[in-house]
Each structure stands twice: as structure tokens, then as C-alpha cells.
Amino acid sequence: MTKTILITGATDGIGLATTRMLLSQGHKVLLHGRNPKKLATVAASLSDY
């Protein structure tokens, strides 16, 4: 069952690791972070999922 999940603090650390894990499991992930530039960089790096 695919879920849509909101991850806060998704630009580094546990939030980023959790995001990668959930994407690899096929879930849809919404990213949230305080730094727009870091968030854009992370989103671009996750495009392979």
C-alpha cells in the first residue's frame, strides 16, 4: 500500500535518511525544510527515486 507522507526537516540528518528510505519503498513523500536552497538541492538529488 503506497502512502503519501510529509517529512519535516527533510534537508539533512534523520529527515533525509527517512525520506530516502520511504522513497525506496515506493511511497510518495512531501518534503519540508526551513532553507529553500537546501530543500531544492535535496529535491533534485532525490529525482532518481
Instruction: List per-block mean pLDDT (blocks of 10 residues) for the chain, which spans 49 residues.
Output: 97 97 98 97 93
Predicted pLDDT of residue 26: 97
Predicted pLDDT of residue 49: 86
Strand segments (E) across 1-49: 4-8, 28-32
For the chain, the domain total comes to 1
In contact, 7 and 19? CB cutoff 8 Å? yes
Long-range contacts of 7-10 (CB under 8 A, 24+ apart): 7/31, 7/32, 8/32, 8/33, 9/33, 10/39, 10/42
pTM of the shown model:
0.89
Range of the domain at 30: 4-45
